[in-house]
Each structure stands twice: as structure tokens, then as C-alpha cells.
Amino acid sequence: MKLAGKTESRMAQVLVLPRHDGDLVFKAGPVKSYEDFTKMVPQPEPPQVLVAGGKTITNTDDPDYNASLMKWAQLQTHYMIIESLKQTPDLEWETVEADKPNTWENYAEELRSFGLVETEIVRLINLVKAANGLDDDLITEARDRYFRDINKSGKLEESAV
């Protein structure tokens, strides 16, 4: 696919954290596919319940199902963070293994143990969100830039109305 003559042009996002002995540079790129994630961690299915009249319904209110769905969503977020940060040169995890979902949540403790404080970890997670198109401020900024450019050119396309 091309859009306005361009193929995908997503850049890695960069976060530089100052340190006296050398700045820490983290890079985050987009996760292009969650296929590996869904192979390792299939989305939970809600249970089927037999109700009066012999009819079977899907029970999306089941507390066990909702708990497993919440855990699945958390694992997906952990996966996104770990996969996205693979763009960071020389980043090596000690207790996180990309093919072992039960290790993914260790990333936060590793960052703390490395010496990052909570605000730096939040910045790093925001970096990952921005790299994966989940940053509302960046989306708003891009939309504003689009309309500003249209106003400068004097061309208001029908789709922009």
C-alpha cells in the first residue's frame, strides 16, 4: 500500500535519560504484528452457559473470564513494551525472555534494579506508546499540523471538511 506516494514511514522514538557517566538512550519502534503474541497467549474465550429452555449463551460477565481477559490484556501490553524496545541497541534483559510470557512482567523490576526511577519508567512506557501510535498528543499534533499546512496552501480538500 502507498499513501500520497509513500510507503510506511514510521520512525523509531527516542528517549535520552541524562547520567553523569553517559546518557542512557532508549529506542522504541512499532510492533508490526501480534501474531507471535497470539500464538503464545491466545485470547480467552468466555464460557458458555446453559440457560432455561436448553439454550446456550455466552457469559461475558463471568468473573473468571473477566480476570483472565484482564491478565491477557496486561500480557499484551508487556509484550508490546518488550518488542518495541528491541530497537534499543545493546538492551539485554536478565529475567525477561521474549518467548516466555510468564517472564514479561519482570521488565519493570529490571528497569528499577538498573536504576531508573518511576518517572523515567513512565517516560519509557510513553515512548513505547508513541512508537505504537497510542499517543493522543502526537495524533492531535499531527492533525493540527495537517490543517495548518492546508490553511497555508489555501487548499482545503473535501475530505478535510
User: 13 is written with which cell numbers?
Assistant: 522514538
Report pLDDT for 157: 54
88: Cα within 13 Å, side-chain hemisphere: 20
Report pLDDT for 82: 98
User: 94 is written with which cell numbers?
Assistant: 536478565
Given a cut of 50, whether residue 137 has pLDDT beyond it is yes
Number of H helices, E strands in the chain: 5, 4
Report pLDDT for 120: 98
User: 12 is written with which cell numbers?
Assistant: 523509531
Q: What is the pTM of this model?
A: 0.80
Percent of the chain with pLDDT over 90: 71
Given a cut of 60, whether residue 16 has pLDDT beyond it is yes
The single-letter DSSP state of residue 134 is -
pLDDT in tens, 81-114: 999 999 999 999 999 999 999 999 999 999 999 9
Question: What is the C-alpha separation between 42 and 65, in angstroms, rounded?
Answer: 13
Q: What is the mean pLDDT of the chain?
A: 90
Question: What is the C-alpha separation between 95 and 126, in angstroms, rounded?
Answer: 22
pLDDT in tens, 29-54: 999 999 999 999 999 999 999 988 88
Q: What is the mean pLDDT of residues 66-94?
A: 97
Report pLDDT for 160: 47
Report pLDDT for 102: 97
Type of residue found at 153? S
Q: What is the mean pLDDT of residues 49-63?
A: 92
Domain segments of the chain as ranges: 13-134
Q: What is the mean pLDDT of residues 55-72?
A: 95
- Regarding predicted confidence, which is higher, 135 or 89? 89
